[in-house]
Structure 1
Amino acid sequence: MNATTIRVLYIDDEENNLHAFKASFRRQYEIYTALSAVEGLKILENVPVQVIIADQKMPNTTGVEFFKSIKNTFPDPTRILLTGYTDIEALADAINHGDIYRYITKPWNDLELHNSIKNAYDAYKSKIDLRNKVAELEKTNDELNRFIYSISHELRAPLVSTMGIVNLVKMENLYHSSGEYWPLIESCSNKLDYYIQKTLQYYKNNKIVSENTSIDFNMLIVDLIELYAYSDRDLQFNVNVRQDLPFFGDAFRIEVILGNLISNAIKYQKENENDKHVNIDIEVNSTQVGISINDNGMGILNEHLEKIFQQFFKSKINHGSGLGLFIVKEALNKISGKISVSSNPTDGTTFKITIPNVNQA
């Protein structure tokens, strides 16, 4: 952009200063002047100004007060303060709160003021460019997420058909008729289904607006155990739910959180363990629900405990997608929940979470 197109608004109650400014810079910038903060505000409402210069010592409204008053309504223009005296406290407060970009003492030096205006415009342009880039990235990210969701959703149809065929083969006692081929097909199908489900959970967790409904944790835990425990019928679940009060929360995200934790507790059991068990303890009070999920499985190495909630993190024994616990943490963040974990390869893993009870009744 050519410098002559930079629009500068100068506010000063001394008309001679306005004339001097206009005479010095009219060939370099598009100049607008105002004798008061009120006049300056009217210009801002009608002209897309990029740089605002205001005198500090004006009647009724100081330059700092004016900049503070327009910070929310006109956040984009870069602000320069002219001051003929040093009010350190007011200047420091204005700078610290982002109300001004720079201050210049009066009488100004033309070269210094010219350079300040150019730098102020560069700061303005950088702010606008950054905002446009962020908007563009958000749009691209949204399109990518919708594409991933669409593809994942479409993949489930043929996958469900494949899994249905495997079940028919089992019913006809042909599962082992071709060596390891049918078990291999089933294993790959289940793994692909797991990846698709986690992808869909990730997308929905980012997109769905939180909606609080009544939650019965007794019923929810029974349903989740029935959903995930089919893969290991030898596993013992010890469930203790204490819910004498109504609980209101985001049912979708709470189900995602508990489903992932229960699924992991089942998946990472020790193969040779004779007493496989998962302990689920839930206590609801008027302000929150506290949930503990403990297993005696493989456990997590100490050096991995700080990484398990990172996206795509996998330990050597983790053959999942690396998304499960990341989704748990993201879902908890959406509903102001907290999570902690303690674990070792000998005793297994314990996850403890708290989720606010948003019942306003």
Structure 2
Amino acid sequence: MKNTRIRILYIDDEIHNLNAFKASFRRNYEIYTALSAQEAKQVLKGVDVHIIIADQKMPVTTGVEFFYDIKDILPDPIRILLTGYTDVEDIIDAINKGHIYSYIKKPWDEHELHRSINNAYEIYSARKQLKEKVLELEKTNDELNRFIYSTSHDLRSPLMSVLGIINLSRLDQTVTDPMGYMDMIESCVVKLDGFIQKIIEYYRNSRLDLEYEKIDFNNLFNDCVDTFKHQNTAIEFKVNVEQPFDFKGDTFRISVILNNLISNAVKYQKPGATNPQVNLSAKVEPHKATIKIVDNGIGILSEHLNNIFKMFFRSKNNNKPGSGIGLYIVKEALTKINGTISVDSQYGEGTQFEITIPNRNEFDT
């Protein structure tokens, strides 16, 4: 923007002040003038100015009032207030609320005003460049997310084909696999497919709009249990729901949260445990729901508790397969629905996650 001629709008109800400003600065800047706030708004409809200078004491609308009126529809131009009075309270209020960048006393000094204009334009340029960089980063991030999502979907198709071939080979009596290679291949494919599904979950959580609908936690828990109970048939699932009030929430994100937490509760059971358990409970109140997922599995080391919600973090106290993004997705999904989560774990004894989720039914009544 170095070659851009600075465009300034000067508003003053005294014509001789406008003429004096033009005479002093027209060689340096592109000058536009207005005798009132209303006239200034008309100018701003057709001209993209960088700096707006307004006199404070004008009939009908003061300079501060004018800046307040345009701050939302025209946030970019830098605003400078001219005043010949000691309107200290108005000026301080305007500066604190961000209505103006600075103020200059009248009669203005040409060198001082020139310096203020150039400083203001430097700020305008820096903000403009920052905004452009942010938009560029947002575009790049969006394109990357779309690419990852598309790639993840495309990868699942050949993986499912590999699993299909493995199952066919098991049905074929002529195929032998004494070393168990098919099982190893299947295990790797399932692990990779699970990771891909986590990526898809993350993408959908970040992109999909919130949709609130009535939720029955008994049904939701039972669906989750049906999904994971086959992974360890020895686990006893206990479900306890207190729902005397209707609950409305985002079903997709709450399901993602529960599926990830219950999946971990199943996955991180102690090897050879005689009574593995996963307890699910929900208590619905008018303004929130409190959900607990408790297991008696291997637990989490205390020094790891502050890191478990970080992306790709995996505890070193187990050799279980995992992507390291499940709990990160849980935290992101809860952030989307303004929920909270806490964890209490004793290594070797088990883990409890407690979640609170706002009841949107309260907001709709």
TM over 0.5, yes or no?
A: yes
Which residue number corresponds to residue 181 of structure 1?
A: 181
| Post-superposition offset of 1:213 | 2.1
Deviations 1:264-317 (A, max 9, x none): 111111114222111111122333221100011121222222222122222213
Give the alignment of 1:101-116 within 5 angstroms: 101-116=101-116
Which residue number corresponds to residue 320 of structure 1?
A: 322
CA contact (8 A) 1:176 1:182 kept: no
| Post-superposition offset of 1:180 | 3.2
Q: Which amino acid aligns with 2:323?
A: S
| Post-superposition offset of 1:94 | 1.1
Give the alignment of 1:60-139 within 5 angstroms: 60-139=60-139
- Three-state SS of the structure 1 residue aligned to 2:38 is helix
Which residue number corresponds to residue 356 of structure 1?
A: 358
> Please, which of 345, 348, 361 is the counterpart of residue 346 of structure 1?
348
How much is the aligned-residue C-alpha RMSD, in angstroms?
A: 2.0
> Do the aligned partners of residues 331 and 2 (structure 1) sit closer, same or farther apart at CA in structure 2, a change above 3 Å counting?
closer
CA contact (8 A) 1:175 1:182 kept: no
| Post-superposition offset of 1:342 | 1.0
Deviations 1:111-150 (A, max 9, x none): 2211211121121122222222222211111111111111
Give the alignment of 1:155-174 within 5 angstroms: 155-171=155-171
Which residue number corresponds to residue 300 of structure 1?
A: 300
Which moves more between the two structures, 110-119 or 166-175? 166-175
CA contact (8 A) 2:302 2:347 kept: no
| Post-superposition offset of 1:84 | 1.8
Q: Which amino acid aligns with 2:143?
A: E
- Three-state SS of the structure 2 residue aligned to 1:227 is helix
Stretches of 4+ aligned residues off by more than 6 angstroms: 173-176
> Do the aligned partners of residues 142 and 331 (structure 1) sit closer, same or farther apart at CA in structure 2, a change above 3 Å counting?
same
5+ residue gaps, structure 1, are: none
Q: Which amino acid aligns with 2:196?
A: I
> Do the aligned partners of residues 4 and 152 (structure 1) sit closer, same or farther apart at CA in structure 2, a change above 3 Å counting?
closer
> Do the aligned partners of residues 26 and 275 (structure 1) sit closer, same or farther apart at CA in structure 2, a change above 3 Å counting?
same
| Post-superposition offset of 1:33 | 1.2
- Give the TM-score normalised by the residue count of structure 1: 0.94
Which residue number corresponds to residue 203 of structure 1?
A: 203
| Post-superposition offset of 1:353 | 0.8
Which residue number corresponds to residue 47 of structure 1?
A: 47
| Post-superposition offset of 1:319 | 4.2
> Do the aligned partners of residues 126 and 101 (structure 1) sit closer, same or farther apart at CA in structure 2, a change above 3 Å counting?
same
Q: Which amino acid aligns with 1:147?
A: F
Q: Percent identity?
A: 57
Which moves more between the two structures, 30-39 or 150-159? 30-39
CA contact (8 A) 1:195 1:321 kept: yes
5+ residue gaps, structure 2, are: none
| Post-superposition offset of 1:3 | 6.4
CA contact (8 A) 1:8 1:31 kept: yes
How many pairs were matched up? Answer: 361
1:147 & 1:15 partners in 2: Cα distance?
Answer: 59
- Three-state SS of the structure 2 residue aligned to 1:5 is coil
Q: Which amino acid aligns with 1:331?
A: A
- Three-state SS of the structure 2 residue aligned to 1:74 is coil
2:121 & 2:83 partners in 1: Cα distance?
Answer: 20
Q: Which amino acid aligns with 1:125?
A: S
- Three-state SS of the structure 1 residue aligned to 2:224 is helix
CA contact (8 A) 2:56 2:81 kept: yes
CA contact (8 A) 2:265 2:278 kept: yes
| Post-superposition offset of 1:170 | 4.4
| Post-superposition offset of 1:53 | 0.5
